[in-house]
């Protein structure tokens, strides 16, 4: 017997980092998925084949066992196939945690409860990232377009926005390379800034929430000029949070000069790459030219995809 569960990646349209401090964030699940297959084994141990994600899977298994008071799991093989790059701001760790926990819940307990999956995936994210907002796991579990705010550590406000009510234009992504820092380190860096310059950082976070609201309204009203301005100012705020490296800034400035806008997604990065850039530009050719100049791939991305799900057919990849 086997089961395959998949979870999407996610993109922060705006609000990352500020969301840790109680501000709103706008996120979307994307058309890149991670698949986890769980199947019975005849041996007496659990075998994990994850492509560099073994520690995340082990954390998720431990959280599942504790939540359901399970001392020992039956012999299993757990394998992962993923379209989501690691450490680039697309929610890879959240997808691993959610898919692992969801797969185990269904395979071992025959329970499918997205709310419970999200609760436990958040616990796994805390082990991995230290003080995450809970937005990433929420986006990959529930999918679609989400408005998210963490009220307290134990209470999150989540609004699922009907995608049909929002005119989602074509966005692009550019991978600037994996940051040298982990998400945990980037979250800690912003926390250190907040500790040293609380008033200034409060102003930045409040400004970011204003831009996040403007971005949502621009999507609803199909107003590309307001959308561009919200992303432009949102990126400036991210730079004030010191989560954008010099290489990413250089590319973003090129995109802005050509008439578009771009921002880092997720935790960002200060050294080396800064992960994924979310790009909006009416002229795809100009973005592709910039990509070629820096030898970086430019890819379209679909926002508002389905969240975690049980796959009807096993995958062969």
Please tell me the CATH code under which domain 2-165+304-310 is placed: 3.30.230.10
The bridge status of strand 76-82 relative to strand 47-49 is parallel
Instruction: Give me the percent of the chain exceeding a pLDDT of 70.
Output: 98
User: Do 101 and 121 touch, CB atoms closer than 8 A?
Assistant: yes
Q: Where are the domains of the chain?
A: 2-165+304-310, 171-301
> Which position has the token pair 């976070």?
205
Contact 252, 235 (CB under 8 A): yes
Instruction: Give pLDDT tens digits for 50-61.
Output: 777 888 999 999
Nearest to 208 by CA among 23, 63, 44: 23
pLDDT by residue (tens digit) across 36-51? 999 988 777 788 887 7
Tokens of 159: 């609004």
Strand partners, 200: none
Residue 248: partners with Cβ closer than 8 Å, 6 or more residues away: 176, 264, 268, 269, 273, 274, 277
Whole-number mean pLDDT of the chain?
92
Both ends of the chain: CA-CA distance in Å? 19
Ramachandran sector of residue 157 (left: φ over 0; alpha: ψ -120 to 50; beta: rest)? beta
HSE (CB half, 13 Å, CA atoms) of 260?
A: 25
Of the candidate CATH numbers 3.30.70.890, 3.90.1300.10, 1.10.3720.10, 3.40.140.10, the domain formed by 171-301 belongs to 3.30.70.890
Token code pair at residue 223: 């107003």
Whether the per-residue pLDDT at 267 is higher than 60: the answer is yes
CA–CA separation, 265 and 61 (whole Å): 28
What pLDDT does 315 receive? 44
- CA 243 to the chain's CA centroid: 16
pLDDT tens per residue, range 158-204: 898 887 767 789 999 999 999 999 988 999 999 999 999 999 999 99
Long-range contacts formed by 159-167: CB under 8 A, 24+ apart: 161/216, 163/304, 165/220, 166/219, 166/220, 167/219, 167/220, 167/221, 167/222
The pLDDT of 20-34, averaged and rounded, is 95
pLDDT in tens, 91-112: 999 999 999 999 999 999 999 9
Nearest Cα to 268, choosing from 303, 241, 243? 243
pLDDT digits (tens, 9 = 90+) for 202-255: 999 999 999 999 999 999 999 999 999 999 999 999 999 999 999 999 999 999
pLDDT, residue 165, reads 64
Chain center to CA of 15: 12
């Amino acid at each position: 017997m086997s089961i395959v569960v998949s979870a999407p990646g996610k993109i922060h349209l705006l609000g990352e980092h500020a969301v840790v401090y109680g501000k709103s964030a706008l996120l979307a699940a994307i058309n890149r998925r991670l698949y986890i297959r769980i199947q019975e084994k005849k041996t007496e141990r659990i075998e994990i084949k994850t492509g560099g994600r073994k520690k995340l899977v082990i954390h998720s298994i431990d959280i599942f066992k504790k939540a359901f008071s399970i001392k020992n799991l039956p012999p299993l093989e757990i394998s992962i196939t993923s379209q989501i790059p690691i450490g680039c701001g697309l929610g890879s760790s959240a997808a691993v945690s959610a898919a692992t926990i969801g797969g185990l819940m269904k395979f071992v307990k025959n329970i499918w409860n997205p709310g419970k999956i999200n609760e436990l995936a958040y616990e796994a994210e805390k082990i991995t990232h230290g003080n995450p907002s809970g937005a990433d796991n929420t986006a990959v579990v529930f999918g679609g377009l989400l408005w998210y705010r963490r009220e307290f550590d134990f209470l999150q406000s989540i609004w699922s926005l009907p995608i049909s009510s929002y005119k989602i234009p074509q966005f692009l992504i550019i991978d600037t390379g994996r940051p040298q820092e982990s998400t945990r380190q980037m979250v800690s860096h912003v926390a250190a800034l907040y500790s040293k310059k609380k008033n200034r950082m409060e102003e930045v976070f409040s400004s970011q929430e204003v831009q996040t609201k403007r971005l949502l309204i621009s999507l609803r009203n199909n107003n590309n000029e307001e959308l561009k301005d919200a992303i432009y100012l949102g990126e400036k705020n991210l730079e004030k949070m010191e989560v954008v490296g010099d290489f990413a800034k250089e590319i973003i400035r090129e995109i802005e000069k050509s008439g578009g806008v771009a921002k880092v997604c997720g935790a960002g990065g200060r050294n080396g790459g800064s992960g994924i850039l979310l790009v909006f530009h009416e002229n795809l050719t100009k973005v592709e030219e910039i990509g070629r100049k820096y030898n970086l791939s430019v890819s379209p991305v679909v926002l508002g995809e389905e969240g975690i799900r049980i796959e009807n057919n096993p995958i062969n990849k």
